Amino acid sequence: MSGERRLENANPTIFSKAEERIITEDEEDDDVVDAFDSREIFDLIRNICDPEHPLSLEELNVVKESHVEVDDRTNRVKVVFTPTIPHCGMAQLIGLSIRVKLLRALPPRFKVDIIIEPGTHTSESAVNKQLGDKERVAAALENTHLLDVVNQCLSGKQGL
């Protein structure tokens, strides 16, 4: 197997996707101010591609609308994600991809917290610390190779 990359979770469980949200005229009207809600945030991240599989984070049940919290009044967004396996080596990359997607899509007034669902990853504390540290995130995004991989996850080029 020299030269081949080995998948950590070669046969993941695939989940059904949620129905597409119906967007109202008021939501499309830029003159109407409406608060962000958990579904809107979920819709931003649901189609991020998994770094290893040709599937979205929603299809792998890594992100769920029920694990998205939004407080528009205090400008906070929290996303709790669940790696597909407890020793997932892609957890930091997945979390970083979620963070970058939200930082690019949301107004800068929002504080975004991305964490692993408690008890679902062997290194959850270390991953959460990395994802919560602005300097570490900024340094990671200065790495052009890593940024290319994140951009591929966000662009729909699946199964890197």
Q: Name the pTM for this structure.
A: 0.82
CA-closest candidate to residue 61, choices 93, 89, 84 = 84
Query: pLDDT (tens digit, 9 = 90+) per residue, 20-79?
Result: 766 666 666 667 667 889 999 999 999 999 998 889 999 999 999 999 999 999 999 999
Largest CA distance in the chain: 58
